[in-house]
Structure 1
Amino acid sequence: MAAPLRIGSVVRLRPDRTEEYLALHRAVPAPVLAALRRAHITNYSIFLRDDTLFAYYEYTGEDYASDMAAIAADPDTQRWWTLTDPCQLPLAGAAEGERWAEAEEVFHLD
């Protein structure tokens, strides 16, 4: 089995929505978690520092684009995003329509 693809991404958190965002993530709906697992997402964490969220996960599948499209098409995940997206602000350098901006991996200790 190939090593997993490691993905890191960042987004800003609206300071006035911090408690709401944290509360949402204390009770992520089971169907949203199931969609992530079906898409071969493992070892997923989101960290908060000041007003910046950093997400890290590992992808163990074979067709990343297809699996990400499946997550985006999932109705439960779409409903989840209607709750979480208003809490977030894209980074200044994010591409048009990009919410979570992927970060470049510059070091990994195996």
Structure 2
Amino acid sequence: MPNWVRVAAISEVPADGGLERVVAGRIIGLFCVDDRYFAIDGICAHQGGPVGKGGICGAIVTCPWHGWQYDVTSGKHELSEIRQQTFPVERRGDDLFVDMEERS
């Protein structure tokens, strides 16, 4: 069953940028790409860096610690089969909600 949680106002997410949020005890990165919103696990698979604080170019976010890059639309690491967990994002008026339902 979906577990929608309000994470931010649209005005808080920079156009073609992102931010980090703690949602339901998890750190996520919330990103805006071409007026669409995406959420991925905010802890880098490499060494736990803050992916949500990384710079973004197109749909690719770069972890600020060691440069690992992920496609925010899919969570896929750019050079391997590693994949960050993604979370559905829904816009409701001026707010963004993320579905934090546990998935296997």
TM-score by length of 1: 0.28
Tell me which of the two structures has the higher relative contact order, counting C-alpha pairs closer than 8 angstroms and 6 or more residues apart.
Answer: 1
TM-score by length of 2: 0.29
Q: Larger helix proportion, structure 1 or 2?
A: 1
Flag the structure with larger Rg: 1
